[in-house]
Structure 1
Amino acid sequence: MEEAVMNRHIIQEICWKFQKWLQIGHEKKLRDAKQDVDQFLTDCISLKCQKLKVRNEEEEDLDLLTNYMKIMAEKSSDSEEISEKILKDELLNLAFAGKNV
């Protein structure tokens, strides 16, 4: 993903937009990578939701996703889709932040 995004800054805008329209080159790789990352994050969130439903409330988890999900559940009454999108965005932000450390 980083390579494809970097490529957008190097080549002219019309070139990468044309690649995006034709779904070739770096733009195809970017599209495929977005789908893979989205599927991975969806799997992580669904597994964590299943574990939270089965797990006893007294047990404490020390991971960021669990704590963030608990806070989201307490503060919002929005639909599940919106909170899942927010969770995906937060996980992606944490992954990028952790990569740069």
Structure 2
Amino acid sequence: MPAQQDLKKPVVTRLTYDQAHQSVCRVLSNPPDDPWTQERQRIGTRIRDARMAHNLTQETVVLAIPMNRSYYQDIEAGRANPTLNTLLDIAATIGIPLADLVR
């Protein structure tokens, strides 16, 4: 008997631009469970908490870097997989060490 097909919905992606609109990044709309999802969410929560503790808006951060706002929102929500340079830019803009975001 042949194996049953996986009837899950296909993975859907949407496009967003990275820093300074230089290239397009694919962000999963319904990311599959992977071991890094929870860690990305924890980092995103730390970024959001640090930003709010310093009384900064998302708009202030994305204008200072510069970065697409929807991409930044995806980082805070744990849906995006930012580069090290992006995390360094965010940490510097908020005014905290990178280690505080990834601890």
Normalising by the residue count of structure 1, what TM-score does the alignment of the two structures yield?
Answer: 0.32
Task: Report which of the two has the higher share of strand.
Answer: 2
The structure with the greater share of residues assigned to helix is 1
Provide the TM-score with structure 2 as the length reference. Answer: 0.31
Considering Cα pairs closer than 8 Å and 6+ residues apart, tell me whether 1 or 2 has the greater RCO.
Answer: 2
Whichever of the two has the greater Rg, that structure is 1
